[in-house]
Structure 1
Amino acid sequence: MKLSKSLFLAFAGLGLFACSNEDVVENGGIQGDASVRVHISTDALASRVGESTLETEDVEIQEITLTLTASVGGKEAGPFTSIEEANEFVFKGVRGPQKLAVSINDGKATMTLDAVQTGLAAPMFAEENITAEDYDEASKTYTVALNPEHKTAYLNFSNISHDDSEGACWFQTITFDGLFMNGVKLSEDAVSTTYNSWAEASANTSISDAIGADWKTGGPWAGPYSYNVFPGKPILTLCYSNITVTPDRVWVDGPIKGAGYATVKDYIVSNAADLTAEEQAGLGINDEGKITEFKAGYVYNFDGLKVPDKAIGNTIIGAEDVNVVAEVSIKPWKLVDGTVTWN
């Protein structure tokens, strides 16, 4: 999947008005009718790492929900399918406004991974308390600044293939069962979850894709295989079964007879030196060019992963010390060439 273009959520000035016909607005003791207005800032979205020259990708806005908490008239409004539609909505009969929230694509204050739709429809959320400091006496309006935040990173893996450039294939038979992200957070505040087999991981379709093909055909398996993940460093794991090796090879069977795995050890950005220190930090890259954490709000593209036989081990951690070249592009919701290493 080739991702290009510009991501800037162009919703400057999303407006929402909450009017009260009461003589007294209870919040802060302010007298007279009042309105509540939200201004959604795009500063955190349009330039996530300062003056970046990295390419960007549009967030798909599928729905916007506005939620006003107030003594009188507080409610949820929406879903709206466009910025224009949300701009036209007015909360009426409001008194004592307390809190204002904007949810984009079903974003919540705290989310679970199974509630996140895979793709560019990024879940985003912002919420602020309404205080007397937000009130303008001249216009009798509360103006609340909201900065919606991304919840997930978006990972794409495409054109995965069997690399047979180092000689004859080690295997007489081998089936490519599928791939999954190991060590993911299933909820925003949770610790990472580790799967020990393809049978366990494949039950969670939000972080796995089934293939079921003869690995010796070489592929490529185009994909893209796409996953939204909470910030962290989950491990791409390729799973195999029905493994028998050629007479000149020895294969020590794992817990499940004939099962094998190839796992990514490092995600390496080869042109990290071309990025500023601020960009490297924003993208989760250390001084060796390795990604230490996938950051929320970025699209990470891995295209052309070639997997040699020696990358496939008989345990869930895969084999060791094998480098596999991949093309990596990173977009906020940002373009970097790079490599990965396999365990």
Structure 2
Amino acid sequence: MLVLISLILSGFWFLTNFPRLGLIKVILSYLVLSYLCSIHLTFVGVAVVDGVEAVYCDSSNKILESRQDWVKKVFDNDSQLLEWYKHECFNIQPSAFRARIVSLKQQFNQSEGFYILQTRSGCEWEESTGEKFGFLKYGYNGEDFIELDLNTLSWASLKPEADTTKQSWDADRNRTKLNKVFLTDICPERLKSFLEFGNSSLQRTVPPSVSLLQKSSSSPVSCHATGFYPDRAVMFWRKDGEKVHEGVEIGDILPNDDGTFQMSVNLNVSSFTPEEWSRFDCVFQLSDVEKIIVTKLNKTLIRTNWKEKMTKETSGRSRLREGRGHLLRPVGLREGRQEKDMLWKRDRDE
């Protein structure tokens, strides 16, 4: 099993270009937004394990919280690890990011304003072979900037403007060696401590609830899956058993508040004849799970706001015609709209 821990200090620029993505079984990511506006630095981070929020860091308000029970067990078992995270969150990283942003502002002769420095770093660990891989990459103001090559122990510019920074950072050999030690030695140990207590939770699979949704009669039909875990899943439309690409829009996998995920895949049905509908179905499959969930394209199964609205309006008119023993009486006016906008309340015999 290949597991990955990635320390990501990032704002709008994270979750892209993970190394060896196709082999990843478990991901631990620290996502941190750090920006400098005038003299005020904001440094907020979230540790995400396989897409599940694990630890929350807010250096400005001195907050470090465990978001999962198994993370609390990790910290209860290793108080020094908890102190390490606090020290990184409250002291080391905010100070380092402030200094680097100020340096970059001076390098580019930038005035006061809003500046973002992001970094993504971490390690992969192949449990069966013991192989370890590290990576470290910076972004500045939302663009790739510079990254560390652990094979040559040198920095690589990702844009011409980073050449000056590369020269300066290459000269700091001690810092580069410390980065290598963290990425290839310390980082995998951090990962193992989380897996020791969280592996059973991280390796679980939860199937989704799948629904067909449509905003209006002319809108695409959306096949929506929610509540699944982990976030490694595929979803697509088929016609006569063959995968369809034309007229299909696949959405991103997004997190739910409970640690599960959701995704949608839309199908343009505007040109379909009634006979064609029965030839389509939606397929969902979790990674490493053989079973697939198939949902037939059926008009009677589609949930849509416009149908519900029509049903409510029709039902409302019927009740007014029939009366059913209820009276509607005005109880007040909406403030500022006294012409026609009245609130109504139903009187009932009690």
| TM surpasses 0.5 | no
The normalised TM-score by structure 1 is 0.20
Higher helix share: 2
Q: State which structure, 1 or 2, has the greater radius of gyration over its C-alpha atoms.
A: 2
